[in-house]
Structure 1
């Protein structure tokens, strides 16, 4: 298989099941049905963490298969809310905001200085 063949194969994959089948990863359809977009996004995130892609197609295929397996396993024992792959799941987390007291006092001209 050439690099072009690998890229062409990847471009033809359209679903999480297609990716899992292509890379020979056994999966539970119920897990994929509920988490398909999360699995693919996590797979993409894992690939983004790779500093340097291997030169050989076989090594690249093995790396992709490993990262997809890891992404699938993340959701085999967990769920989308816990894994927080998409930003929407992180939006309601509490945020700490610190405003110095002096900044507040400057906005109140008659307030006593600290």
Structure 2
């Protein structure tokens, strides 16, 4: 039996595969290879909305597992570019200001 709580174990994890193993979530290695950081970032976003200070460790583990499954599912059906988890991808999709001034016809200047 492990003496550390699930949150402590997750904080020590350094690879996406460790998160999946600790929480007992199955995954396709191809998806993890492409979107590992995006999945973990999305999991963190989902967990930010959870209250994890009161429940028992088994309840916390179930919530963490559900958020990881939800985050993983986001990337099973779409790509990291479509999900835009990171700022750089959000900025890339944002409308760019017109860097070129409008053309003015010489005949209209008279």
Q: TM-score, structure 1 length as denominator?
A: 0.74
Q: 1:3 to 1:68 in 2, by over 3 A?
A: farther
Higher-RCO chain (CA-CA 8 Å, sequence separation at least 6): 2
1:78 deviates by 0.5
- Other-structure match for 1:106: none
- Other-structure match for 2:39: 39
- Other-structure match for 2:95: 94
Does residue 1:69 correspond to 2:69, yes or no? Answer: yes
Larger CA deviation: 3-12 vs 72-81 = 3-12
Runs of 5+ consecutive residues of structure 2 not aligned to the other structure: 98-110
- Other-structure match for 1:108: none
Runs of 5+ consecutive residues of structure 1 not aligned to the other structure: 97-114
Following the alignment from structure 2 to structure 1, what is the Cα–Cα distance between the partners of residues 7 and 15?
A: 16
1:3 deviates by 8.4
Contact 1:3 1:57 in 2 (8 A): no
1:49 deviates by 1.6
Q: 1:3 to 1:41 in 2, by over 3 A?
A: farther
Contact 1:2 1:57 in 2 (8 A): no
RMSD, aligned α-carbons: 2.1
User: Which deviations, in whole Å up to 9, do the C-alpha atoms of 1:3-43 show, x marking residues without a partner?
Assistant: 84323322321111110111111100000000000000000
- Other-structure match for 2:104: none
